[in-house]
Amino acid sequence: MPDTPAESPADMQTPDRPTWDIFCRVIDNYGDLGVCLRLARDLARRGVQARLWSDDLSPLAWMQPEPVDGLACRPWADSVRAEPGDVVVETFGCELPDSFVAAMAARSSTPAWINLEYLSAESYVERSHGLTSPQFSGPGAGLEKRFFYPGFNDRTGGLLREPGLIDAADAHDGGAWLAVRGWAPAPGERVLSLFAYPHAPLAAFLDALGPGWLLLLCPGAPQQALPPLLRPGQRAIALPRLSQADYDRLLWSCDLNLVRGEDSFVRAQWAGRPMLWQIYFQDDGAHGPKLEAFLAQSMAGAPAPLRARWGALSRAWNGLAPWTPEAAEALRELPVAAAHARAWRAGLAAQADLTARLQAFAGLPGGA
């Protein structure tokens, strides 16, 4: 995505169109930047002037190839000379430049300063959502930072969902979309997308999966590691990098989606298809309780056999339990899993979306 020109409307602060600054640092994957781009783009399309500041903008060339009216993407270093907007979003604990914080404190009208945290279904999210951190010293002395936690119920910050997303997913012709790109399944084949970390237990998964599958492999280590492991009746296609819009269409086109991290995890839920989540591994084991908390919420309304089998599959896929016949059986009951995925999506869609809640949290028009 090319830099928005300096004279772009996204850089021109006007009273009738609030300006939001969203800061993101790229650590080891592009999921954080993906979340920030979706938020900034959604804000811009809702009439906000959005500026996305990042230390690595190169992935935007394929995530969002076309410019978005009202969205400016700027190098992190340039923020030292910028005038802060009405709302400043510090994502995932990244620390703002001292000079920018000092400029925030010097504004005649204090900006809303929000720390957007990682998504989790754990109980601490409800307790922590909305907490404040007054700044008593340093360049931001006198300001107040507030914490915004995404989540799966109305006591949290909700999930990113742009207007019209569910209707677009349901109207999508997945077969035609795959065929145009040369990724169509053969007669009788089912299709899955696979976006996974390098340590994914691919061989055990392929054993459990069985024949009759076309695997569409997103960029990453599995594109090289998986093809030699294919079992009889399985084939794979390595995909190029996709824009966020096309990645959504990929999810809508598959019978099963394997996703990782946070951004693809949320988008797979909006697809309304069975989804297997590879959670981000943490050395201290914190990913285990995080997975269990999500399973407890997302599978609460599922039939008991599906709940037990999908839990066994999820734990095995994440290296938290051995592969068992119960885990493999989950892959044999995809119609039941698909019905539950749509029911879970419907419940989430009945709640206000994250962007609307964030606008209300900031105290500006347009929020829920």
The H-assigned helical ranges of the chain are: 31-45, 60-63, 98-106, 124-128, 165-171, 174-180, 202-209, 222-225, 244-253, 263-271, 287-298, 304-317, 325-330, 334-349, 354-361
Catalytic residue among 42, 86, 262, 263: 262
Q: Which amino acid is at 266?
A: V
Q: 317 near 278, Cβ under 8 Å?
A: yes
- For residues 274 and 79, what is the distance between their CA atoms, to the nearest angstrom? 41
Q: Are 355 and 43 in contact (CB under 8 A)?
A: yes
Q: Sign (positive/negative) of CA torsion 119, 199, 228, 322? A: negative
Cα–Cα distance, 163 to 157 (Å, whole number): 17
User: Is 262 one of the annotated active-site residues of the chain?
Assistant: yes
Q: Give alpha helix (H) positions in 134-243.
A: 165-171, 174-180, 202-209, 222-225
CA gap 164, 1 in Å, rounded: 24
Cα gap 46→182, rounded to integer Å? 35
- In the set 21, 32, 117, 122, the catalytic residue is 32
* Separation of alpha carbons 337 and 310, rounded Å: 8
Residues in the chain: 368
Active site residues: 32, 262
